[in-house]
């Protein structure tokens, strides 16, 4: 009887490398695929591929290199740049998971005859829903919540019950290649940002144009260095005349290059409107908890879906909610849907 084939998305990091090992040990036929998503010239791809090559030799598997740089530029990179220019806060990893990793890479896996696509993400699934991983510090259910519902059945996450430290220990004891991978730096959060996000935006727009800082009544109270340098909730990098206590960015105005600031209470939000819904349940009204940023705590809320928008009433106030970020709905540990934040008050 032939073994079931699984395609493993391999990055050259320890998580995906151990994922390939675990699946092979469990009796699957494993193949790897590396995504070339951009044309970095700093040895980024060469370094990653040298690690993947070592893992492939150790496991005796073949791997593919899939060049998705054009699609990545259109679906992720351009969206990232345009979001900041429009005064929004983007979430490129969410777009990448939806369109690239569990879009184009999943399609490629199926074309190659694989029954499943596996990755080193820390998240649980039962084939119908995503659930929070055991390692809460690494849980990636938030970032996967825009993946289409009908794709979930083709996905596997062998690390869902592991802690990151266990994966590092396991890797360090496997083989010299794996040991080397455990000793290298963790990959950066956004793969195409080598320094700070503003360096990327500067390649496409002049963002270093001084502008006025306004209070909430529209009075000029100081100066800032260009609106794209700021996100909602930021409290540094601008001046406020005579301020005795911290001021925070509460609004960005790209059209006239102004930012509005206020004291901490002015960041308070009780209602959120979100669009671009991706729901895993059919209910149009429900109570749940919502995460409005990846590292934020879940807030109990009531959600009403109408005209392809989610109207979210928070039971406790949130602070510093940014348009462009993702609202992810949870029923205890289960992800029941998500939507991109359009406005808040």
In whole angstroms, what is the distance from residue 124 CA to residue 225 CA?
43
pLDDT in tens, 162-201: 999 999 999 999 989 999 999 987 777 788 888 899 999 9
159 and 79 housed in the same domain: yes
Q: Which of 52, 59, 58 is nearest to 30 (CA)?
A: 59
H or E element, residue 113: none
pLDDT at 2: 67
70 and 130 housed in the same domain: yes
Residue 231 lies in a domain: yes
Number of domains the chain contains: 3
Q: Which of 80, 98, 97 is nearest to 89 (CA)?
A: 80
274 and 253 housed in the same domain: no
In whole angstroms, what is the distance from residue 97 CA to residue 51 CA?
22
Tokens read off for 125: 């699934």
pLDDT at 12: 95
Residue 83 lies in a domain: yes
pLDDT at 3: 84
- Residue 24 and residue 61 in contact, taking contact as beta carbons nearer than 8 Å: yes
pLDDT in tens, 32-83: 999 999 988 888 999 999 999 999 999 999 999 999 999 999 999 999 999 9
H or E element, residue 84: helix 78-85
What is the Rg, in whole angstroms, of the alpha carbon atoms belonging to the chain? 22
1 has a pLDDT exceeding 60: no
Q: Which of 139, 115, 112, 137 is nearest to 125 (CA)?
A: 139
Tokens read off for 339: 């939507």
Range of the domain at 223: 207-262
pLDDT in tens, 197-221: 999 999 999 999 999 999 999 999 9
In whole angstroms, what is the distance from residue 124 CA to residue 134 CA?
8
pLDDT in tens, 69-119: 999 999 999 999 999 999 999 999 999 999 999 999 999 999 999 999 999
Report the CATH number that the domain containing residue 30 is assigned in CATH.
3.40.50.620
156 has a pLDDT exceeding 90: yes
H or E element, residue 152: none
280 has a pLDDT exceeding 80: yes
Mean pLDDT, rounded, of the chain: 95
Annotated catalytic residues are 96, 191
- Residue 275 and residue 342 in contact, taking contact as beta carbons nearer than 8 Å: yes
pTM of the model as a whole: 0.94
31 and 122 housed in the same domain: yes
pLDDT at 185: 76
29 and 174 housed in the same domain: yes
pLDDT at 337: 98
pLDDT at 187: 72
* DSSP states of 267-294: GEEEEEEEEEEEESS--SEEEEEEESST
């Amino acid at each position: 009887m032939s073994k079931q084939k699984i395609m493993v998305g391999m990055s050259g990091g320890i998580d995906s490398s151990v994922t390939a090992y675990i699946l092979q040990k469990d009796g699957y036929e494993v193949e790897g695929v590396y995504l070339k998503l951009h044309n970095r010239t700093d040895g980024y791809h060469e370094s990653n591929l040298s690690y993947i090559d070592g893992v492939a030799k150790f496991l005796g598997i073949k791997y593919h290199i899939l060049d998705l740089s054009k699609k990545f530029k259109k679906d992720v990179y351009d969206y990232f740049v345009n979001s900041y220019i429009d005064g929004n806060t983007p979430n490129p990893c969410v777009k990448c998971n939806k369109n690239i990793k569990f879009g184009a890479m999943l399609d490629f896996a199926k074309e190659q005859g694989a029954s499943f696509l596996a990755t080193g993400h820390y998240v649980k699934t039962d084939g119908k829903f995503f659930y929070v991983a055991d390692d809460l510090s690494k849980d990636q259910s938030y970032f996967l919540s825009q993946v289409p519902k009908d794709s979930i059945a083709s996905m596997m996450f062998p690390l869902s019950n592991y802690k990151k430290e266990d994966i590092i220990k396991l890797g360090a004891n496997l083989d010299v290649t794996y040991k080397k991978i455990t000793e290298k730096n963790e990959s950066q959060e956004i793969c195409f940002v080598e320094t700070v996000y503003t360096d990327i935006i500067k390649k496409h727009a002049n963002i270093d144009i001084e502008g006025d800082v306004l209070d909430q009544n529209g009075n000029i109270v100081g100066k800032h260095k260009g609106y794209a340098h700021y996100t909602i909730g930021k409290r540094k990098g601008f001046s406020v005349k005579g301020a005795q206590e911290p001021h925070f960015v509460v609004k960005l105005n790209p059209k006239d290059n102004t930012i509005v600031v206020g004291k901490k209470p002015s960041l308070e939000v009780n209602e959120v409107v979100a669009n671009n819904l991706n729901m895993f349940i059919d209910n149009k009204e429900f109570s749940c908890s919502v995460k409005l940023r990846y590292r934020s705590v879940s807030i109990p809320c009531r959600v009403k879906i109408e005209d392809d928008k989610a109207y979210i009433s928070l039971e406790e106030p949130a602070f510093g909610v940014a348009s462009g970020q993702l609202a992810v709905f949870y029923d205890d540990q289960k992800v029941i849907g998500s939507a991109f934040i359009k406005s808040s008050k």
